[in-house]
Chains A and B, each alone.
Chain A
């Protein structure tokens, strides 16, 4: 019996292997994985027949996997061809390193290689061991979903198309078969299929069972989808965000993570054309595709996009006005863009910022905040469209003169996660110390990256040591990276300096081929920060080194070009803290200092204090939300008791102010609810007098309590069945109190507390439902 479950578990794991198909090109990469998984299953089956302690089984399986993989990959170095030796382990470790390097540097699909097979085989053996433990040892096969989902996540993260339908269906089938076999075995353990109620015909019973199951499943799915939307904390999690999903009422927009596409483009060995365009401008703007405005401490992601009718681009091709731009008189420039045939398919259109109109076929949407142009109909390639954008001729001087204008950016564009290394805030402060306006601060930040601070541009940055914060590592240790690191770091630091900022991803202007024609290739993929200035809206900055040592086609915008004075200041910035010096000022007194003299708290950047002070400011008044949470929790805790109390009050009031039927009804219901609260089962076939007799017999009630109980029951009985109810003594509320006290006294304290705090009567079904159910079961 166990052997069946073991083999089905192994089968379920093997069924997830094909999802790696699109990631690896070539044959035979899966053989070693399959062998390792089978080895795990065989070990499990054999070990279980020996009836030894099951705690050691995973260790034994891991050992068998090690031998198997040694035998496959380095039989020459091993003892007897399969026993691992230090030598063979070194070989395997070297192979793993090589595989890691390949995975990091090559874009998928990777070509088959022993190193790759080894890594996949190790992964799947671990999954098989965990799955075997869950399904057979712990006998909780539903948990096998956890190990089975892991391989599915890999293609989801790196593959534009995600998982193919057949591969997913196969994986899901494997899991379902496992569940089915387990259910079947459990049922068999009870000696045959459970029969439906003797009253119902078998067919009806089966239909009822199936419909009950289906109902539960549907309810579960609906709840799983809807509940996170109702819970604010959950709705903002990465599950919904990464996909840029749109929820409740409009379509879902999903796309590959922009940073993944960026990396793939930059790493592409072929450097294919992405698009070409015609523009009258001599130095065209960057072509922007994505805006990432949410930083979770590790990754930049998009806010959810809404593909609703409001954001659809209508026939007049007008786009929403660019946020924050005061004067609209800027020169309009038209750009004709043609996406390369056979190039990358786009579901977000590259366009110069800020686009004002777009002439494009098909259904496209524009996000009013970010002016991203996107579709939900699947990516397009080979198409042409024309974008009209505002040309912004800003010099450093114009930008420096603060223009009055709306400051209506959303608060989250200044958010800095509390987990950010305080060193970064200190660094930002030291860089922007001398700058007076937001503009100067922005330029100072940009220049700090580009001018001689030992930053080095490389598409293959060194690996980040395990546990290190990537941002801290980039800023203080390695200082090697490409546009992604530069853009992300400057965006975050700009936020710390009180300037709303976000990361834009797209392409640089590319290369002029002739006259007004330009070509953009994959190596022009780029990421850069966009900063918000009052009256000017969102402006791009360029912290990434350009020219041959950096991103070849990157340009620094005119307004961010250092003026003579600025460059002298930039020079002084050269003396900005080097990594070595930087470790020292992060002591606590320094931080306290920083809080006190915050030099940059000018009136024009009011919402920035949050960003600069980071987590420390939060701790100051954190007792208020804590108190609120405590009160809310207490209220929540007491809510059932309060609700029950309200019901009781109402009934007592009813019983005290009325006589006859109404009083009897109120008293009886209250009694029934009290019984339910105390956990006494209620039988719909029991009459009031039967209940009273049973309670009196079972709970050893005193004589007066019995009489009170009997009066309540008789009043109810008479109210229900007598031709005209007796005008019984109207003291039922007193009787009720006596019975309550008498009953409670015969129960232990824990039961009484539970009755008080978690009154079950609140969950009682309406009487009609109980009757219906009981009647069908009695029939």
Chain B
């Protein structure tokens, strides 16, 4: 990235717009990076999902900063943030909200649940029962809540950041593939580098950096960015490339199930957002390549043979990306 990515995309349809978007995105990105150090790629994916109107699944072992990332994201944007700690006894109504009888007014009044926020942090989502999980997932898909026959729209932007702990399996209900498909991307935070860990000791030991994190953007900024993302050009060759990529996951002998058509849509949206974050007004294959693993891998199921060979879906997607020819000139 040393070769100034800033060069590209000049002379587009609305350079001021582009500049503003980059400025906002950079501010948010820097803010998050003060908390999650040494993970620019993860932060970038999170931002991409935010402005692509998707939902993010953070899957990793405990203690690497899953919740920290989610919180930092929520805090750096000045918008409503709700946090739900998923536990086995959590009920669907604890998420969506519940109608309670108002004695004075002699009517039922709807008490909105935590889902009525711009950013919803679902912590350890796999600890809740499938019933509760699906209540959240329905909101994610439809951007509305139906309680007692009334349909209430959710706020915009709306983003669910769910964390999941793959190592701790006791008493958990891991998300089924169909549910995972609703998340636009999955990231793993991973262990920090030794240097980042050293810095962390210095900064985090005294107080949490989250406390210092002030919002750097407003919900309106995010909505503007979302609007901008919709105008990013996707060349026909790139669309074909995405379809080729998804098709390749379906025909691969190492995978039981390939990616769904929803994955294709997610991929195009994410690529647009990624290009916008780079300050470009069109998508290039590199965007798709960078997003292939986060957007596709969590939806794929390896065959038993691949499992035996310890080939993860991530490996398979990387292989496909490394071999699939990029779209040439039209």
Contact = CB atoms under 8 A, between A and B. Distances in A.
Interface of A: 198-199, 201, 661, 665, 683-687, 689-690, 692-693, 696, 706, 710, 714, 717-723, 726-727, 767, 770-771, 774-775, 777-779
A727 B330 CA distance: 18
Contact of A771 (B3, B238, B247, B328): B328
A689 B235 contact: no
A658 to B, nearest CB: 14
Q: Looking at B7, B284, B319, B321, which has the most chain A CB atoms within 10 Å of its CB?
A: B284
B4 to A, nearest CB: 8
A517 B233 CA distance: 101
Nearest to B13: A723
Contacts of B323: 684-685, 774, 777-778
B8 interface: yes
A665 B328 CA distance: 10
A684 B254 contact: no
Contacts of B254: 198
Contact of A726 (B11, B235, B251, B330): B11
Contacts of B233: 721-723
Given A771-B328, A775-B325, A778-B324, A722 B3 contact: no
A690 B235 contact: no
Interface of A is mostly: helix
A649 B328 CA distance: 23
20 contacts: A684-B323, A684-B325, A685-B322, A685-B326, A687-B284, A690-B286, A717-B8, A717-B284, A719-B329, A720-B328, A720-B330, A721-B233, A721-B235, A722-B282, A727-B11, A767-B328, A771-B325, A775-B324, A778-B323, A779-B251
Contacts of A727: 11
Nearest to B3: A710
B281 interface: yes
A766 to B, nearest CB: 11
Interface string B294-330: 0000000000000000000000000111111111111
B19 interface: no
A726 B253 contact: no
Contact of B8 (A714, A723, A779): A714
Nearest to A665: B329
Contacts of A720: 235, 237, 327-330
A774 B8 contact: no
Contacts, number: 89
Given A687-B285, A719-B329, A199 B253 contact: yes
A523 B39 CA distance: 103
Contacts of A665: 329
B252 interface: yes
B3 A706 contact: yes
Nearest to A716: B329
A693 B5 CA distance: 11
A685 B8 contact: no
A718 B238 CA distance: 13
A684 B11 CA distance: 29
Contacts of A685: 289, 321-326
Contacts of A696: 3
A710 B7 contact: yes
A248 B237 CA distance: 48
A726 to B, nearest CB: 5
B43 interface: no
B284 A721 contact: yes
Nearest to A768: B328
Interface in B215-249: 233, 235, 237-238, 244, 247-248
Q: Looking at A683, A686, A710, A779, which has the most chain B CB atoms within 10 Å of its CB?
A: A779
B320 A778 contact: yes
Given A199-B251, A690-B286, A779-B248, A774 B324 contact: yes
Contact of B248 (A661, A686, A778): A778
A770 B10 contact: no
A141 B285 CA distance: 49
A721 B328 contact: no
Contacts of A201: 253
Nearest to A775: B325
B283 interface: yes
